[in-house]
Amino acid sequence: MAFDALQYEICEDNIEFRLIAPDTWMLTTKLLEPFSSDCYLLSGDESAVIIDTGMIRHLNLKEYILELKLTDKPIIGAIATHSHFDHTGGNGWFGHAWMHKNSVYGATHPFGGNADGYILDYPIDIIKEGDVIDLGNRRLEFIEIGAHDLGSVAILDKDRRILFTGDELETGWINIGSTTPEKVPGQTIETHYKNMQKLKARYDEYDIICPGHHGAPIDKSSIDDFLKCDEMILSGVPGDPYVPRKNGGERFRSIPHIKVMRYRMAHICYRDDRIFEDK
Ligand SMILES: [Zn+2]
């Protein structure tokens, strides 16, 4: 047994996992750090990868997956949906990661700067639009969709017909351009809308969507809710200035121009002075 009792306790208390499709596990990290995320272990005929890795410290997530025998294929690395450390903090345990070039800095710099309990010097391969990784009859294609984060990629599981969307299309809440001190080109509703249209154009290539937070899988028609929500913002429908507690509460409410737009399952937190790229 690779784990001692304390490590097992950390795992049992902080990771939920369930099989959501054949050879496809969802692992949700929780509690021990202020942020949780939903990670996905995918196995093909020859190898396995994990999409996002959470940010629990001092926890060898790969060893835990192997202990539980969630896959009998070699896990060849982690794929980052985007840079944010609640998705990339565990990458080091997998010995190798793929990510967009805009994700490298964030993935190797923990929130708040405390690196204790993380491995940050792992090798990274840069991925870009159209690149494909083949796990053996399971091809994963990358689609660039940066807006919440400029390193965001969607991962289209072409053979199992699943779309992984990270934090650009979540179960409920997303955050577009609302928290950086300065306006960042690309982090606008206009760009998010274009990216959602790009995913909509591939609509007949996937059946379900697996986002980065709050539970999965979700029906692919959820993308229509996000398109509609973006359209409402772009067309000048006024957003709600009150950010509810579960979405950041007072900390977010103090941000200038902060607004929330809701349409069915799509709730977008944004700034009304960062809707368009050129204004
Ligand atoms: Zn994020």
* pLDDT tens digits along 157-187: 999 999 999 999 998 889 999 988 899 999 9
In whole numbers, what is the pLDDT of the chain averaged over residues? Answer: 93
Q: What is the pLDDT of residue 3?
A: 76
C-alpha closest to that of 91 among 120, 63, 112: 120
Q: What is the pLDDT of residue 147?
A: 98
116, 191: one domain: no
21 and 102 part of one domain = yes
Q: Which amino acid is at 262?
A: R
Q: What is the CATH number of the domain that holds 7?
A: 3.60.15.10
Give the distance (Å) from ligand 1 centre to CA of residue 170: 10
- Is the pLDDT reported for residue 5 higher than 90? no
- Give the Å distance between the CA of 149 and the centre of ligand 1: 6
Please give the order of strands across the beta sheet that includes 132-134: 132-134, 139-144, 153-157, 162-166, 208-211, 218-219
What pLDDT is attached to residue 251? Answer: 80
pLDDT of residue 65: 94
Residue 119: CB atoms within 10 A of its CB come to 15
**Residue 115 and residue 18 share a domain:** yes
Query: What confidence tier does 31 reach under pLDDT thresholds 50, 70, 90?
Result: low
Residue 2, pLDDT above cutoff 80: no
One domain, residues 152 and 279: yes
Domain boundaries, position 261: 138-279
133 within a domain of the structure (yes/no): no
The whole-angstrom distance between residue 73's C-alpha and the CA centroid of its chain comes to 23
Q: Please tell me the distance between residue 11's alpha carbon and the centre of ligand 1 in angstroms.
A: 23
How far apart (Å, rounded) are the C-alpha atoms in residues 75 and 69?
12
pLDDT of residue 33: 64
Q: How far is the CA of 2 from the centre of ligand 1 (A)?
A: 31
- Cis, peptide link before residue 217, omega less than 30° from 0: yes
Q: What is the 3 CA–ligand 1 centroid distance (Å)?
A: 30
Last residue of a domain, one of 97, 128, 159: 128
Per-residue pLDDT band at 34 (split at 50, 70, 90): low
Q: Is the pTM of this model over 0.75?
A: yes
Q: How many domains does the chain have?
A: 2
Provide the pLDDT for residue 148. Answer: 97
Between the CA of 88 and the centroid of ligand 1 the distance, in Å, is: 10
User: What would the pLDDT profile of 86-141 be if each residue is shown by its tens digit?
Assistant: 999 999 999 999 999 999 999 999 988 999 999 999 999 999 999 999 999 999 99
pLDDT of residue 36: 82
Q: Do 147 and 105 belong together in one domain?
A: no
